[in-house]
Amino acid sequence: MPSNPVLPGFHPDPSVCRAGETFYLATSSFEYFPGLPLYRSGNLADWEPIGHALTRESQLDTCDARISGGIFAPTIREHDGTFYLTSTNTSGGGHFVVTADDPAGEWSDPVYIDAPGIDPDLFWDGDTAYFTYFTTDTDRGIEQAEIDPETGELGESRTVWTGHEDPHAEAPHIYERAETYYLVAAEGGTHTGHSVTVGRSDDPTGPFEPHPENPVLTHRDDFYRDVHATGHADLVTDADGNWWLVCLGIRPRGGFPGWHHLGRETFLAPVAWEDGWPVVDGEEVPAEIDAADLPGDADPVDAGPNPVEHTDTDFSEGRSHEWIYRRTPDRDRYDFTGDGLVLRGGPEALDEKGTTFLARRQTNFDCRIRTDVAFDPDPGEEAGLALVMDEQHHYEVGIVGGDDSGADRGEAGRGDAGDGEAVVRVTVGDATDVLARESVGERVTLGVDAVAESYEFLVDGEVVAEARPKYLSTEVAGGFTGVVVGPYAVAEGGPAEATPARVERFVYEPAER
């Protein structure tokens, strides 16, 4: 049976739409580049990455974005053969709309919209388009205005919802069913109090009557659930008229309230209608979904490992869709060749913006990560494999050059490093510690074996150190993202003078237990 989450790892704030029998889904991307990852599915459970909406610097520049800044929650919709994505760049520009004829193709440059807040929504009622958004002002709540999505011009704004039980109601989406209009919103914050509330009206502009049994979905009442923080929902119908809901949730470790490091993930639940109201079947997100209930082919042909949860690449075909940069990159530092990915480090370490670092999401608690690196560093240079939550919370196993003991970064080293040495570091807040040093040659296999409560670091197949994922969790680090993993490089002299580090192969795969 298909299981939840349907998009594991850092996939928050999902939005979904359908064109014909194909579903398309987008999630938040925050400071990462490209922005707004996009997925395609025929059954709502198996999602294929098809690219990103924001792939060009003319669309997105997050070089100066704060931690968990950048691109917030999107809404994706199809109208008259055109796909629309609206979202908010919190690091510059605010709300915007981009369009495409094909979600897997090129998207337009942003059209910006002069309105406050976050979490915008687009809804068409005939030829009239409505723009609904959370103002972040508890007195104004969720506002709405008519919009020309081609120009971004808004009509007069008005408050349509101030929350059922929380004045910080956010993530609005408008729907129509049987000539009745529904407003779905998120309340209770984005952590363990998260919930989904619903109102309805005879008009898309409201006023909206609240569901008598709001919230229609929350996991906040049972501390022993495997999934918490369910909310920020979006609804969609399949070709047979059945309704479904996607939402975010977290899978904490370590008991309640616990901690989570994979980020906020995308979950799926069936929706039924009772007395003219949408309700979540079972009133919770199910652990498994009966394949016979899903739209499309209940037994899709296996097309091989899904790149959401499996990567095995020599980079000869370039950067595939699962790979992201921590911010808008200096592309001259990354060269995808027939001999591997060549990285030229800059002076920025992993605790600074602008690091030379290419990553993919950690999507499994239990996984095996390996990378083969060819590198002969000079003093002040390093390259390797990093697990990153943000600039203040990251672990790495890297090859360092010369007499670089790392003392200038506050590391508790065990003497000077010699030529060809692998170093395991952990950075948590203001503290950085060295856990291991191992002599290596010019070609090294670096690795991480992960389970829910442990990372083991390997050098040429041997475990040399261990650290806890807890210190890369949202509960420790804060923020809205999750752990990402991939190769990095640093060179004090800058990329023009850097010794190239060649990543010959990278493997990420779920571990069997």
13 is catalytic: yes
First to last CA, the chain: 18
- Per annotation, catalytic residue among 13, 31, 46, 396: 13
- Choose among 14, 84, 80, 72: nearest CA to 47: 14
Strand partners for 274: 277
Which amino acid would we find at residue 13?
D
- Classified as helix, coil or strand, 471 is helix
Tell me if the bond preceding 207 is cis, omega within 30° of 0. Answer: yes
Distance (Å, rounded) from C-alpha 237 to C-alpha 246?
Answer: 11
- Choose among 272, 328, 429: nearest CA to 58: 328
469 burial class (0-12, 13-18, 19+ CB within 10 angstroms)?
buried
Strand partners for 459: 446, 462
- How distant, in Å, are the alpha carbons of 9, 147, 274, 325, 485 from that of 322? 12, 33, 40, 10, 11
Q: How many CB atoms lie within 10 A of CB 146?
A: 16
238 burial class (0-12, 13-18, 19+ CB within 10 angstroms)?
middle
Contacts of 155 by beta carbon, 8 Å cutoff, 6+ apart: 145, 146, 147
Please state the separation of Cα 100 from the chain's center in Å: 21
170 is catalytic: yes
Distance (Å, rounded) from C-alpha 475 to C-alpha 258?
Answer: 8
- How distant, in Å, are the alpha carbons of 356, 373, 377 from that of 420? 20, 12, 8
Asked whether the beta carbons of 73 and 28 are under 8 A apart, the reply is yes
Which amino acid would we find at residue 197?
T
Asked whether the beta carbons of 280 and 271 are under 8 A apart, the reply is yes
Tell me if the bond preceding 347 is cis, omega within 30° of 0. Answer: no
- Per annotation, catalytic residue among 46, 119, 143, 170: 170
Residue with tokens 């002299």: 493
Catalytic residues: 13, 170
